[in-house]
Structure 1
Amino acid sequence: MAAADDIADRRGLDPAWVRQTLGQARFIASVPKLMAPAPKGTVKNWRVYRSRFIDPVRIAAGVRFWQANRATLDQAEKEYGVPAEIIVGILGVETIYGQNMGNFRVIDALATLAFDFPASHPRAKERSTYFKGELEQYLSLTQRANIDPLSLRGSYAGAMGLPQFMPTSWAHYAVDFDADSRVDLFNSPADAIGSVASYFKAFHWQTGMPTHYPVQFDTKTLDMDALMAPDILPTFSLASFQAKGAVLDGAALQHNGPLALIELQNGGDPPEYVAGTENFYAITRYNWSSYYAMAVIELGREVAAAFKAKAGQ
């Protein structure tokens, strides 16, 4: 209740309404468990991860979505500079184009993570603070939009709609792309499409820039520790990247901008590597994972190829 009063004061909301709303939130025991980090020693496997998202069912759903929303995807690409296949990749990975938007009450998920985030998590305090901010934003958002805050359902983390936007992302980046005077990420594919494009534009998507390039290594000059040190943050100039033993060819040799070495582990098999650009990094702003970003890219490509084949292009 003290948190409710604090939220009401800082957001200019009716304290009684905030108290009544939060008072109806329910603790969900499964949510803290779902937030637990992977057990120590868990080996990442890109091929297994990829198979969860790039499959015939999701590709076919993506083709249908593209066919139904072709004009909107074209408009978003023209307006924001974000390729249709990236938008399609995001919506496919996140919710299979609206088929699975989550069934947790958003108020319950956010309140659980705000007030009962698992103390065993290495970043428990930071994450609890984050979810308190999202809960506050959610209450403000629903109140302004005259939406019942107890009615919306989403992921166990409180993400909502076709693109699985957290409340803060909804408030900052969602757009009314179908021009009906309201933003609806649950029922409007157009708003979802435009909002994903808006999000990437805000995170500095570079129009026309590839997301990544193939990379090989010169064993004589390879400094893998230095190449891996910045993780997925593009840090190296083309010259410094090559000086540390990364071998690029073709279009990559004309790249203008920083690069990162992206490692995709394959369990007990050798990892795969690519040279990630600023646009690869932009995708990780949606979800801090190189595996996630690559799944989005590859699903988008597969759907684009199937869409063009079906259209006879």
Structure 2
Amino acid sequence: MRRPLPNVLSIALMLAAAGLLLSPSASSAQSGSGTRSNVVRGGVAYASRDDAMQFADEVAARRNLDRDQVRATIGAARMLPNVPRLMLPAPTGTPKNWAIYRSRFIDPVRIAAGVRFWRNNADTLARAEAEYGVPPEIIVGIVGVETIYGRNMGNFRVIDALATLAFDFPQAHPRAAERQAFFRSELESFLGIESRTAGDPMAPVGSYAGAMGMPQFMPSSIAKYAVDFDGDGRIDLVNDAADVIGSVANYFKAFGWKPGVPPIFPVRFDIARLQKAVLLAPDIVPTFSADSFVAGGAVLDGDALRYPGLLALVELQNGDDPPSYVAGTKNFYVITRYNWSSYYAMSVIELGREVRAAIEQ
């Protein structure tokens, strides 16, 4: 039975901060696995920044936290000089290439690791599907794309990454104000979580954006969606595959996953009737019934023609080669709520399919 987050999360994060939740396989993994020996070190501390200290005071007041402790924690965070650059989008005009993007995630190493993960956790994956409606291949695809099943969980101190993006987000970013506000909210969420632990808030490590664990949850996602799926009294997203599987499934259910609905259907075009601009106008938001999709020049077959929900035309560019297209359902859109990229969603889908095919051979 899953327990409420406030009762269990503090225990897991306290143990993680003490290094007690790193399994031998995780602690001996390649650089970037999140071990203490290869943590990226920051530069100047934020203790001297008036804006950071004002934010600390505001967080302490909003969350009824110890003011001195919050100021000390944020003050000890260090600016990571390379992180703001990593947040900038690719230069305008840089061609996207689905084939190249796909090759980064669909490879023999990741597929073999996915097969082991699935076989080792088959019962838990089946239970998650029964409870949340999310099929195993989607969960396996997510964990594989995110961290290769825990091999690469990041090596940036979370407090440093979040503070850097909260106070030094690159102003050249086209959505700088919105994104900086997001990371300030995530920093506040992280501080709220850490306030319930006796661990060291300097210890947790993750991605350069502050995501943590096998599923790379941001702090707010941990607070909202992480579950104790094996009922052991704690939530551990670093080593406990059951908690990882349940938490990912819970995330998708919360965003509206529809059980039994495929995320994509194949699509072709009737060039004589094609209104591609109309079909692409809503981007990946499901907008068209199957009939209106076909009326716009899309060609669907079989189950897609009988699909009662709404569809979106998803375009995947291939550099100088012709784009690839699929018809995306609501579930495709739900996958993009994990990472707002149709290329990412397709990688999750295809990795999961490849792993399932290998399992069924």
Task: Tell me, yes or no, whether TM beats 0.5.
Answer: yes
- Cα distance in 2, alignment partners of residues 50 and 146 from structure 1: 42
- Choose which of 325, 330, 339 in structure 2 pairs with 1:278: 330
**Is residue 89 of structure 2 the alignment partner of residue 37 of structure 1?**
yes
- Cα distance in 1, alignment partners of residues 199 and 143 from structure 2: 24
User: Which residue pairs with 2:175 in the alignment?
Assistant: 123
User: Which residue pairs with 2:292 in the alignment?
Assistant: 240
**Is residue 117 of structure 2 the alignment partner of residue 65 of structure 1?**
yes
- Residue 147 of structure 1 and its aligned partner are, at CA, apart by 3.7
Q: Which amino acid aligns with 1:173?
A: Y
- Please list, as runs of the form range in 1=range in 2, the aligned pairs for 1:217-232 lying within 5 A after superposition: 217-232=269-284
- Choose which of 228, 242, 247 in structure 2 pairs with 1:195: 247
User: Which residue pairs with 2:233 in the alignment?
Assistant: 181
User: Which residue pairs with 1:134 in the alignment?
Assistant: 186
**Deviation per residue, 1:7-41 (Å, 9 max, x gap):** 01111111111011111100000100100110111
Root-mean-square deviation (CA), in Å? 0.8
- Choose which of 131, 134, 141 in structure 2 pairs with 1:79: 131
- TM-score, with structure 1 as normaliser: 0.97
Moved over 6 A (4+): none
- What's the secondary structure of 2:315's corresponding residue? strand
User: Which residue pairs with 2:33 in the alignment?
Assistant: none
- Cα distance in 2, alignment partners of residues 102 and 170 from structure 1: 16
User: Which residue pairs with 2:21 in the alignment?
Assistant: none
- Cα distance in 1, alignment partners of residues 287 and 196 from structure 2: 41
- 5+ unaligned residues in a row in structure 2: which ranges? 1-52
- Residue 181 of structure 1 and its aligned partner are, at CA, apart by 1.3
- Cα distance in 2, alignment partners of residues 163 and 146 from structure 1: 24
User: Which residue pairs with 1:299 in the alignment?
Assistant: 351
**Distance change >3 Å, CA 97–CA 217, structure 1 → 2:** same
User: Which residue pairs with 1:207 in the alignment?
Assistant: 259
- Cα distance in 2, alignment partners of residues 67 and 151 from structure 1: 32
- What's the secondary structure of 1:127's corresponding residue? helix
Q: Which amino acid aligns with 2:345?
A: A
**Is residue 11 of structure 2 the alignment partner of residue 11 of structure 1?**
no
- What's the secondary structure of 1:271's corresponding residue? strand
Q: Which amino acid aligns with 1:246?
A: A
- TM-score, with structure 2 as normaliser: 0.85
**Deviation per residue, 1:203-249 (Å, 9 max, x gap):** 10000001111111111211111100000000111111111111101
- Cα distance in 2, alignment partners of residues 137 and 305 from structure 1: 39
- Cα distance in 1, alignment partners of residues 298 and 65 from structure 2: 55
- 5+ unaligned residues in a row in structure 1: which ranges? none
The count of residues paired between Structure 1 and Structure 2 equals 309
**Deviation per residue, 1:73-103 (Å, 9 max, x gap):** 1111111010001000000000000000000
- What's the secondary structure of 1:144's corresponding residue? coil
**Is residue 163 of structure 2 the alignment partner of residue 111 of structure 1?**
yes
- Cα distance in 1, alignment partners of residues 86 and 294 from structure 2: 41
User: Which residue pairs with 1:158 in the alignment?
Assistant: 210
User: Which residue pairs with 2:49 in the alignment?
Assistant: none
User: Which residue pairs with 1:93 in the alignment?
Assistant: 145
**Deviation per residue, 1:60-85 (Å, 9 max, x gap):** 00011111111111111111010001
- What's the secondary structure of 2:73's corresponding residue? helix
